[in-house]
Protein backbone atom coordinates (compact mmCIF):
# COMPACT_ATOMS: atom_id res chain seq x y z
CA UNK A 1 0.00 0.00 0.00
CA UNK A 2 1.33 3.47 -0.80
CA UNK A 3 1.73 5.71 2.21
CA UNK A 4 1.25 9.43 2.30
CA UNK A 5 3.94 11.69 3.77
CA UNK A 6 2.35 11.39 7.23
CA UNK A 7 2.55 7.54 7.03
CA UNK A 8 -1.22 7.07 6.62
CA UNK A 9 -2.34 4.74 3.81
CA UNK A 10 -3.82 6.64 0.88
CA UNK A 11 -7.44 5.88 0.09
CA UNK A 12 -6.67 5.55 -3.63
CA UNK A 13 -3.71 3.21 -3.18
CA UNK A 14 -4.13 -0.34 -4.51
CA UNK A 15 -4.67 -3.03 -1.91
CA UNK A 16 -1.70 -5.30 -1.28
CA UNK A 17 -1.74 -8.55 -3.21
CA UNK A 18 -2.90 -11.43 -1.06
CA UNK A 19 -1.93 -15.02 -1.66
CA UNK A 20 -5.02 -16.73 -3.00
CA UNK A 21 -5.74 -20.35 -2.29
CA UNK A 22 -5.99 -22.27 -5.57
CA UNK A 23 -9.54 -23.13 -6.54
CA UNK A 24 -10.64 -26.72 -5.97
CA UNK A 25 -10.67 -28.66 -9.23
CA UNK A 26 -14.09 -29.06 -10.80
CA UNK A 27 -15.21 -32.70 -10.62
CA UNK A 28 -17.77 -33.83 -13.18
CA UNK A 29 -19.37 -37.12 -14.06
CA UNK A 30 -19.87 -37.67 -17.78
CA UNK A 31 -22.38 -40.51 -17.89
CA UNK A 32 -23.51 -41.40 -21.38
CA UNK A 33 -25.93 -43.91 -22.84
CA UNK A 34 -24.55 -45.06 -26.18
CA UNK A 35 -26.87 -46.76 -28.63
CA UNK A 36 -25.64 -48.05 -32.01
CA UNK A 37 -22.43 -46.03 -31.70
CA UNK A 38 -24.28 -42.75 -31.05
CA UNK A 39 -24.58 -40.92 -27.74
CA UNK A 40 -28.31 -41.30 -27.16
CA UNK A 41 -28.12 -39.42 -23.85
CA UNK A 42 -25.32 -37.56 -22.13
CA UNK A 43 -24.45 -34.38 -20.25
CA UNK A 44 -24.69 -32.10 -23.29
CA UNK A 45 -28.18 -33.26 -24.21
CA UNK A 46 -29.34 -33.00 -20.60
CA UNK A 47 -27.96 -29.43 -20.38
CA UNK A 48 -29.76 -28.62 -23.63
CA UNK A 49 -33.03 -30.01 -22.23
CA UNK A 50 -32.60 -27.82 -19.13
CA UNK A 51 -31.94 -24.78 -21.33
CA UNK A 52 -35.04 -25.50 -23.45
CA UNK A 53 -37.09 -25.73 -20.25
CA UNK A 54 -35.65 -22.43 -19.02
CA UNK A 55 -35.81 -20.44 -22.27
CA UNK A 56 -38.82 -21.97 -24.05
CA UNK A 57 -37.19 -22.51 -27.43
CA UNK A 58 -34.36 -24.42 -29.01
CA UNK A 59 -32.88 -21.25 -30.51
CA UNK A 60 -32.82 -19.41 -27.16
CA UNK A 61 -31.47 -22.53 -25.45
CA UNK A 62 -28.72 -22.78 -28.07
CA UNK A 63 -27.76 -19.12 -27.57
CA UNK A 64 -27.59 -19.60 -23.80
CA UNK A 65 -25.17 -22.50 -24.30
CA UNK A 66 -23.10 -20.71 -26.98
CA UNK A 67 -24.18 -23.35 -29.48
CA UNK A 68 -25.47 -22.94 -33.03
CA UNK A 69 -29.18 -23.44 -33.57
CA UNK A 70 -28.37 -26.18 -36.09
CA UNK A 71 -26.24 -28.09 -33.56
CA UNK A 72 -28.94 -27.78 -30.88
CA UNK A 73 -31.67 -28.88 -33.29
CA UNK A 74 -29.61 -31.89 -34.41
CA UNK A 75 -28.94 -32.91 -30.79
CA UNK A 76 -32.65 -32.67 -29.91
CA UNK A 77 -33.60 -34.60 -33.05
CA UNK A 78 -31.02 -37.28 -32.24
CA UNK A 79 -32.31 -37.54 -28.67
CA UNK A 80 -35.97 -37.67 -29.68
CA UNK A 81 -35.23 -40.40 -32.26
CA UNK A 82 -33.45 -42.49 -29.59
CA UNK A 83 -36.43 -42.37 -27.22
CA UNK A 84 -39.68 -44.32 -27.22
CA UNK A 85 -41.46 -40.96 -26.67
CA UNK A 86 -40.03 -37.50 -27.47
CA UNK A 87 -38.34 -35.36 -24.81
CA UNK A 88 -39.51 -32.09 -26.40
CA UNK A 89 -42.42 -30.79 -28.41
CA UNK A 90 -42.33 -27.71 -30.62
CA UNK A 91 -45.00 -25.23 -31.65
CA UNK A 92 -44.45 -23.62 -35.04
CA UNK A 93 -44.96 -19.91 -35.72
CA UNK A 94 -48.14 -18.25 -34.57
CA UNK A 95 -48.55 -14.97 -32.75
CA UNK A 96 -46.03 -15.90 -30.06
CA UNK A 97 -43.51 -17.15 -32.64
CA UNK A 98 -43.63 -20.78 -31.55
CA UNK A 99 -41.28 -22.44 -29.13
CA UNK A 100 -40.38 -25.73 -27.51
CA UNK A 101 -41.09 -27.33 -24.19
CA UNK A 102 -40.17 -30.50 -22.39
CA UNK A 103 -42.59 -33.38 -22.37
CA UNK A 104 -43.04 -35.44 -19.20
CA UNK A 105 -40.38 -37.78 -20.67
CA UNK A 106 -37.96 -34.84 -21.04
CA UNK A 107 -38.61 -33.74 -17.47
CA UNK A 108 -38.04 -37.30 -16.24
CA UNK A 109 -34.76 -37.57 -18.16
CA UNK A 110 -33.44 -34.39 -16.51
CA UNK A 111 -34.62 -35.49 -13.07
CA UNK A 112 -33.14 -38.99 -13.33
CA UNK A 113 -29.85 -37.86 -14.87
CA UNK A 114 -29.22 -35.17 -12.23
CA UNK A 115 -30.26 -37.58 -9.47
CA UNK A 116 -27.77 -40.19 -10.70
CA UNK A 117 -25.02 -37.53 -10.80
CA UNK A 118 -25.76 -36.39 -7.25
CA UNK A 119 -25.98 -39.91 -5.84
CA UNK A 120 -22.79 -41.01 -7.59
CA UNK A 121 -20.93 -37.97 -6.24
CA UNK A 122 -22.21 -38.64 -2.71
CA UNK A 123 -21.37 -42.35 -2.75
CA UNK A 124 -17.90 -41.71 -4.21
CA UNK A 125 -17.08 -38.64 -2.08
CA UNK A 126 -14.05 -40.19 -0.32
CA UNK A 127 -12.56 -41.52 -3.56
CA UNK A 128 -13.17 -38.19 -5.31
CA UNK A 129 -11.40 -36.31 -2.51
CA UNK A 130 -8.47 -38.75 -2.68
CA UNK A 131 -8.19 -38.18 -6.44
CA UNK A 132 -8.45 -34.40 -6.05
CA UNK A 133 -5.56 -34.48 -3.55
CA UNK A 134 -3.41 -36.07 -6.25
CA UNK A 135 -4.03 -33.18 -8.65
CA UNK A 136 -1.31 -30.56 -8.71
CA UNK A 137 -2.57 -27.16 -7.55
pLDDT tens-place string over residues 19-69: 676 677 888 888 999 999 989 999 999 999 999 999 999 999 999 999 999
Tens of pLDDT along 63-120?
999 999 999 999 999 999 999 999 999 887 656 667 999 999 999 999 999 999 999 9
Q: What is the pTM of this model?
A: 0.76
Within a domain: residue 12?
no
Looking at the DSSP bridge assignments, the partners of residue 38 are 35
Instruction: With beta carbons less than 8 A apart as the criterion, state whether 62 and 68 touch.
Output: yes
Within a domain: residue 17?
no
Range of the domain at 75: 35-134
Domains identified in the chain, total number? 1
Within a domain: residue 123?
yes
Within a domain: residue 19?
no
Within a domain: residue 29?
no
Amino acid sequence: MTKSPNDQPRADAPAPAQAQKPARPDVRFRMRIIQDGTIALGPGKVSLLEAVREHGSISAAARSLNMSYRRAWLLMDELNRALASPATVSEHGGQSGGGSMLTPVGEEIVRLYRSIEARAAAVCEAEIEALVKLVKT
